Amino acid sequence: LEYLKHNGRTGTVKLRGVISQGLILDLPEGKWKVGDDVSAVLGITKYEPPEPKFSVRGANQTSKKKLNPAFDKYTDIENIKNYNDVFKIGDLVVVTEKIHGTNSRFGNLEIQTNKNNPILYRLQKCFEKRFLGRTHEFVYGSHNVQISFHTSRKNFYSEDVWGKVVSRYDLANRIPKDTIIYGEIYGDGIQDLTYGLKGDVDLVVFDVKRNGNYLDFEDAYTVTKELGLSFVPILYTGEYYDGILGKYTDGESSLSPNQIKEGCVIKSYVEENNLRLGRKILKSINSVYLTRKNGTEFK
């Protein structure tokens, strides 16, 4: 597929007014049936957006040997077009707006050490636990990167977008123990969609994890409000029905008038798993968003 641009990545285009989002390819001979995963056979892999440029400007990435193993990355949400049979008519769901920013996480987690940690690091954490009574640590970062937290560093919070949010909402002191807050930082300088923010960024929360488990929607919403944070715009709660995605995927953003919506996220109102998918959560993307010019797609 050498004729494809952008390192072989397929995108969304309009051909004679019709949205096109893929290619028709020949399969090698075999007993193929509808639903078979042929990505490996065709050499197709999922595109992973690069870390945004601002993630390395001023931020101090934590050494791999000092990462907190409980600081889980957020669910990689698949497109509902590839899993259109997961939700059934009558399923209780919640639909929220998908915000175009940078995926972020903030946690207050138990300090954990192992033999792979540097010996000085293990001694430091042992001292903090035994003599200072410090059992948990505050951690934060992007989807893929954990950023070191240094309260003694001068003007630290102003040096990266996550630090700004930590400072604004005092997250280092407010997040309950054994809890991770997942959200989207959006605004000026994050992506091409700024949601009306000029020279500023902000945070919306879309999920909460406690003791290693995602909270049900109502509980996650309650925790978010107790922390004084904003929850991602809620577009619908109720039973799943035909046409639900057409109603909530397209249109303008609830955060900012006259700005297109990236799309929506649909998940079970009460957490549950699907045998094929895993966690029952999917996304639906606005075709106008996909075909916009000069768009950015940092993770």
- What is the pTM (predicted TM-score) of this model? 0.82
- Local confidence band at 2 (pLDDT 50, 70, 90 cut-offs): low
Higher pLDDT, 131 or 126: 126
**Average pLDDT of every residue of the chain:** 85
pLDDT at 62: 72
pLDDT at 206: 99
Higher pLDDT, 271 or 131: 271
Q: Taking residues 23-33, what's their average pLDDT?
A: 83
pLDDT at 160: 80
Higher pLDDT, 260 or 60: 260
Whole-angstrom distance, CA of residue 224 vs CA of residue 35:
38
- Residue ranges and CATH numbers for the domains of the chain are 49-290 (3.30.470.30)
Grouping H, G, I as helix, E, B as strand and the rest as coil, residue 239 is strand
User: Residue written as tokens 């560093």?
Assistant: 153
- How many helices and strands, by DSSP H and E, does the chain display? 7, 16
Grouping H, G, I as helix, E, B as strand and the rest as coil, residue 76 is coil
Nearest to 149 by CA among 174, 131, 132, 166: 166
pLDDT at 155: 37
Q: Taking residues 97-113, what's their average pLDDT?
A: 93
